[in-house]
Amino acid sequence: MFKKLNSLSKTERNLITEGMAKIEIGEAFYNPKMESCRDLSVLLLGELDEVSVCDGFAATGMRGIRYKLECPNVKKVTFVEVNGEVAKICRKNVKSNKIKAMVANKDIRELFQDRKARFDVVDLDPFGTPAIYIYDAISALSRNKEPSYLFATATDTAVLCGAHRHACQKTYNAVSLNASFCHELGIRILLGFIARVAAQFNLGMVPLLSYSHGHFMRVHVKLLRGDVHAYPSISQMGYTYYCPDCHVLRSFFATDKVKLGEICKDSKWIILGPVWLGQLHDNQMLLALAKKSTNYKELFSTMLKENPFLYYYDMHELAGRLKKSPGKIDEVIHKIWITGYDASRTHFSPLGIKTNMPLKELEGII
């Protein structure tokens, strides 16, 4: 579904081509494994109206250069890079790709706090967590143009996926769990964090494309101003309850009245979140991207076929727990369909199944 690329040799670092951009890397950070991440954002950005973009963590400038060269609707890109030597490399690349743009050598938060700097799209691609930049990034979005957009990468997947639970509580004010469904949980924690900050600005959030791949998670959200958007958006926040004894998951909106005794009498539930319980993608956007893309058709097709149920069961984990051998995923899905329940694969894991079949019944058919 995603392109597989490995690290570069010394000679390859001199001049590399990605999409329509040709850049020098020098001592700047460039990860060829993130080409898919840049490809997907280029595709999505190209679907928006005319926009100005802030490439907030520019490094070589590859991301912003591709946005300007490959998306005719991008009228202006501003590059920001905190490291002086790296900013010089970025400037050189911007110039050699014949782009007229400002490359600011400063901390992105300084630029965001400058009231004159306003962008229709802010792209955050830091090392580690984007959480500490979200508030300032949202405050720097255009006020006189609707909608605005935030794209963010998180490479602190171990934190979001619950391997470092305390770090997740500190960074995202949310409880995660290192469980088989942790990649979806992590994305929902990240989206939930953005939705809560957006609500403080009276903005509603609509996720356009969200995915987890390898060492990173990436979200692209649309933000719309006003109560009419902000309240329905923040109402999508809730909590996921997980029973460590029988592995049942239940999710509730923050304002729901919860009665768990009926589901699992004696269990001590682990409460995860707060999490975004709404959609992870916009289906119209997925359809447009699937139509346009040649390399990522399989990914978009999986996302489009993915049913809307929250989380997924990992068939190997489930079979291992039951001491059974895991059947073929497609065969299990078929068996679920025959019983009248819905089931689909998920882009989060090749071993995952999303279904509304109760876990006890699922355990009976695998």
Query: Where do contacts with ligand SAM occur on this chain (CB under 6 A)?
Result: 29-30, 34, 38, 57, 59-60, 62-63, 80-83, 86, 107-108, 125-127
Minimum Å distance from CB 149 to ligand SAM?
A: 16
- How far is it, in rounded angstroms, from Cα 152 to Cα 124? 5
Smallest gap, in angstroms, from Cβ of residue 28 to ligand SAM? 6
DSSP bridge pairs for 351: none
Q: How far is the CB of 76 from ligand SAM (least distance, A)?
A: 17
| Nearer to ligand SAM (CB atom), residue 81 or residue 120 | 81
CA dist 179 and 47 (Å) reads: 35
| Cα 40 to Cα 43, 66, 357, distances in angstroms | 5, 11, 33
Tell the smallest beta-carbon distance from residue 9 to ligand SAM (Å).
18
CA of residue 339 relative to chain centroid, distance: 33
**Nearest CA to 277 among 172, 169, 159, 184?**
184
Q: How far is the CB of 273 from ligand SAM (least distance, A)?
A: 27
Number of H helices, E strands in the chain: 14, 15
Q: Are strands 216-225 and 203-213 parallel, antiparallel or unpaired?
A: antiparallel
User: Please, which residue, 30 or 241, has the CB nearer to ligand SAM?
Assistant: 30
- The two most distant CA atoms of the chain are separated, in Å, by 66
Q: Which is nearer to ligand SAM, 29 or 252 (CB)?
A: 29
Q: Which is nearer to ligand SAM, 64 or 204 (CB)?
A: 64
Nearer to ligand SAM, 126 or 207 (CB): 126
Q: How far is the CB of 197 from ligand SAM (least distance, A)?
A: 17
Identity of residue 143: R
Nearer to ligand SAM, 80 or 140 (CB): 80
d(CA 151, CA 53): 10
